[in-house]
């Protein structure tokens, strides 16, 4: 970081005089006192514990100063609200560094699309991106304040749990290009309807300038929330940007677009990933990245882990792992992809599906409806896991013969289910695992990779 304590104090409106410490350079800002190194500024946040309790530890580890909501006998910046000061500082830093901001949100695909955009832009510009899932009111400013000081582009993922979350992040980041990938059913428990989810996602335009560009799907549910003062680019069949000649194999996608003269090759399955790559290609084109570099970047992707990814079981079986999160739209999409992939010779196709969380009062109905994406002629066996999957189990029982499906209801049956999968998994089989992160299917994947 290129900031002194004095500059930080001015940016956040600190209420005290930092005196002899004003010219001290701040190397980084951390809210975990264990990560503090010499020259860092500590941010004490309030959670299960009050971060102010860890201020002494932060100084033991080398902190040059700390934010504080009360006067203390250590170098500090006195503020009314540490989190608000943190956000103000990130907003100031983005303006100071004159970096171009690209923001991405959506019910599905936002992390993958963020990674793809960053890969494309990095061929031509110094580019930084949201690390992991740091996409909320703490994670986004943390990302901003940790970007290298020579950054020219920053790609920020924006998540929401409640209405207004993305409006706050947009006003903080002031994106020039904003992307909405898809409106699905994520966090229905908090929003109640897709319309409310759409309203929240479309608040990504709240902080955009009048010359900003919004890229959004051709979904009529968002039409009521389209901005009047920004350029809007819609994607989808017969829209302003679209794909042509899309072909899919087990582990790759190939397609053309109406705005590039080259074919894109993507080392990922899932037609939804072709849409994500098309969006990334268009952002590259808007940013004057050459078609050659766009193609090369997408052909050699480095994606955040636990998204759609082929892995190998220790016995040779193919694992399609998609265990980071789940909602009905995402589950239907991955089941469609899995269903259309050709079987291995003499192998079975097995779907392991776990609970989808935060779907609200209709959660059992949403789970049961997944049966429409399960065809015994395309997916041979179904294994269901979690109390909410009881609704889908009742529907699967009507469609699959006994012995072709199993149901494990309680979370403490994870190990039992894993052993049953191992016993039945053949070396030529293909197995899909999909569920919310809290269902721990990643442990099943890891176990399958290691057993012999």
Q: Is 340 annotated as a binding residue?
A: no
Strand partners of residue 320 = 310, 432
For tokens 């099943």, name the residue.
444
Q: Is 110 annotated as a binding residue?
A: yes
Residue 62: CB partners within 8 Å, gap ≥ 6? 36, 37, 38, 39, 40
Cβ atoms of 172 and 88 closer than 8 Å: no
Q: Is 70 annotated as a binding residue?
A: no
Q: Is 108 annotated as a binding residue?
A: yes
Q: Is 109 annotated as a binding residue?
A: yes
Six token digits for residue 239: 């829209």
Residue 17: CB partners within 8 Å, gap ≥ 6? none
Q: Is 112 annotated as a binding residue?
A: yes
The half-sphere exposure of 296 on its side-chain side, counting CA atoms within 13 A, is 9
Q: Which uninterrupted H or E stretch holds 256?
A: strand 253-257
Q: Which of 397, 344, 405 is nearest to 380 (CA)?
A: 405
Residue 432 CA to residue 340 CA, distance in Å, equals: 13
Q: Other CB atoms closer than 10 Å to residue 369's CB: what's the count?
A: 16
Six token digits for residue 226: 């389209």
**442-448: long-range contacts, CB 8 A cutoff, minimum separation 24:** 442/306, 442/321, 442/323, 443/414, 443/418, 444/352, 444/414, 444/417, 444/418, 445/311, 445/319, 445/321, 445/323, 447/418, 447/422, 448/313, 448/314, 448/317, 448/319, 448/418, 448/421, 448/422
Q: Is 111 annotated as a binding residue?
A: yes
Cβ atoms of 264 and 295 closer than 8 Å: yes
Q: Other CB atoms closer than 10 Å to residue 413's CB: what's the count?
A: 14
DSSP 180-225: E-----TTHHHH-SHHHHHHHHGGGGTT--TT-EEEEES-GGGGGG
Annotated binding site: 106-112
Annotated binding site for ATP: 106-112
């Amino acid at each position: 970081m290129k900031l002194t304590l004095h500059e930080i104090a001015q940016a956040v409106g600190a209420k005290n005089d930092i005196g002899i410490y004003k010219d001290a350079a701040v190397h980084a800002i951390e809210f975990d006192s264990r990560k503090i190194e010499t020259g860092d500024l500590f941010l004490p946040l309030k959670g299960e514990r009050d971060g102010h309790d860890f201020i002494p530890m932060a100084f033991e580890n080398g902190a040059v100063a700390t934010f504080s909501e009360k006067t203390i006998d250590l170098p500090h910046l006195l503020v009314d609200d540490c989190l608000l000061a943190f956000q103000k500082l990130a907003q100031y830093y983005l303006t100071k560094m004159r970096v171009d901001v690209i923001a991405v949100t959506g019910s599905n695909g936002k992390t993958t699309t963020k990674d793809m955009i960053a890969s494309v832009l990095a061929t031509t510009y110094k580019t930084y991106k949201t690390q992991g899932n740091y996409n909320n009111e703490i994670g986004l400013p943390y990302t901003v304040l940790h970007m290298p000081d020579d950054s020219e582009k920053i790609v920020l993922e924006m998540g929401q749990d409640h209405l207004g979350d993305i409006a706050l992040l947009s006003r903080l980041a002031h994106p020039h290009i904003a992307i909405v990938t898809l409106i699905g059913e994520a966090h229905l428990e908090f929003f109640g309807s897709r319309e409310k989810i759409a309203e929240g996602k479309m608040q990504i335009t709240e902080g955009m300038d009048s010359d900003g560009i919004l890229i959004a799907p051709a979904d009529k549910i968002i039409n009521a929330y389209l901005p009047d003062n920004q350029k809007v680019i819609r994607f989808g069949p017969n829209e302003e940007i679209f794909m042509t000649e899309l072909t899919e194999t087990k582990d790759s996608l190939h397609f053309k677009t109406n705005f590039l003269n080259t074919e894109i090759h993507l080392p990922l399955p899932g037609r939804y990933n072709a849409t994500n790559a098309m969006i990334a290609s268009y952002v590259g084109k808007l940013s004057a990245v050459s078609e050659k570099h766009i193609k090369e970047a997408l052909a050699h992707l480095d994606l955040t882990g636990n998204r759609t990814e082929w892995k190998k079981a220790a016995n040779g079986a193919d694992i399609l792992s998609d265990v980071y999160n789940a909602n009905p739209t995402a589950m239907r999409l991955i089941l469609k992809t899995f269903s259309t992939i050709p079987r291995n010779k003499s192998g079975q196709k097995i779907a392991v599906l776990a609970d989808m969380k935060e779907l609200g009062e209709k959660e059992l109905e949403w789970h049961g409806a997944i049966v429409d994406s399960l065809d015994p002629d395309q997916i041979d066996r179904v294994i269901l896991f979690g109390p909410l999957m009881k609704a889908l189990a009742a529907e699967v029982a009507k469609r699959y013969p006994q012995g072709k499906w199993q149901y494990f209801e309680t979370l403490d049956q994870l190990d039992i289910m894993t052993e049953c999968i191992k016993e039945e998994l053949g070396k030529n089989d293909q197995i899909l695992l999909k569920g919310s992160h809290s269902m721990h299917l990643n442990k099943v994947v890891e176990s399958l990779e290691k057993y012999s």
